[in-house]
Amino acid sequence: MRLNQCYKLLFFIALLPFLSSCFEVIEEISMKNDGTGDVVLTINLSQSKTKVASVMLLDSVQGYKVPSKQKIQQELNEAVAYLKKSEGITNVKSNTDFNNFIATISFSFKDVSNINNITKNILAKQKIKATNTSLYSYNKTSKTFNRQYQAIGTAKTEFNKLKPKDKAVFNGATYTSIYRFESLVTSSTNPASNVSKSKKAVMLRSNISDLINGKINVSNSIQLAK
């Protein structure tokens, strides 16, 4: 839930508060043994496409301004431009499908720690406070992948201040993180996470509202076979 916060910014902060709805945020990180890797972030509003399309026809809903396609595209482009300039980040691509309301951003990194500050900075540019902090790290020698996740207390307070109608938007929303490795996974510390049959991937799914509320913690320490 780090980089995808920029999607939250682009799409749902402005859009979702009025969709009681289903949407998915997916974060995929593929780690190579040498510490480099790729990230694919997806936000999929397809399940709510009728509502989104209806809302897009309006100027504002429940007091929130509805961004136009152009505006969304522009902000996404800005995020891409920012990523391109970021240290250790290459191969940045983005794709939007306004028929199904699915957007993706993908890029490669030299070291997983390169992605640590990106979200916060993009959000800060848009004057939005991040709802959590996550630190990713990969130790080549010990072959451990770490994600240190910390929900920010104020995010919960802010969330609780929302009107029930607005909060409801997050009810059906899910967050999925998938980490893929070249080596086999020997252990994954987060009890909510699952290791794939092939033992080469770890998946964690949760409700976005639980994340914001701090009910669930997505910190994880994954040990790979040496």
Applying the rule CB under 8 A, the residues between 60 and 79 that interact with another protein are none
153 counts as binding another protein under rule CB under 8 A: no
Contact 35, 138 (CB under 8 A): yes
Applying the rule CB under 8 A, the residues between 80 and 139 that interact with another protein are 99-100, 102
- Of 32, 36, 38, 46, the one binding another protein (CB under 8 A) is 46
DSSP E strands, the chain:
24-31, 37-44, 60-61, 64-65, 89-97, 102-109, 132-139, 144-151, 174-180, 185-188, 194-195, 201-207, 220-224
For every residue of 6-17, DSSP letters joined together read: HHIIIIIIHHGG
- Of 57, 142, 153, 157, the one binding another protein (CB under 8 A) is 57
* Stretch of 24-32, 80-88, 110-118, 150-158 lying at the interface with another protein (CB under 8 A): 24-32
End-to-end CA distance of the chain: 28
24 counts as binding another protein under rule CB under 8 A: yes
User: How many C-beta atoms surround the C-beta of residue 193 within 10 A?
Assistant: 17
Question: Rounded CA gap, 134 and 2, in Å?
Answer: 6
Instruction: Kindly state the smallest distance separating residue 162's Cβ from another protein, in Å.
Output: 12
Instruction: Kindly state the smallest distance separating residue 44's Cβ from another protein, in Å.
Output: 7
Task: Give the contacts of 127 (CB within 8 A, at least 6 positions apart).
Answer: none
Task: Output 54 or 121, the one with its CB closest to another protein.
Answer: 54
44 counts as binding another protein under rule CB under 8 A: yes
- Interface with another protein (CB under 8 A): 20-21, 24, 26, 28, 44, 46-47, 49-54, 57, 99-100, 102, 164-165, 168-169, 171-172, 178, 180, 196-198, 200-203
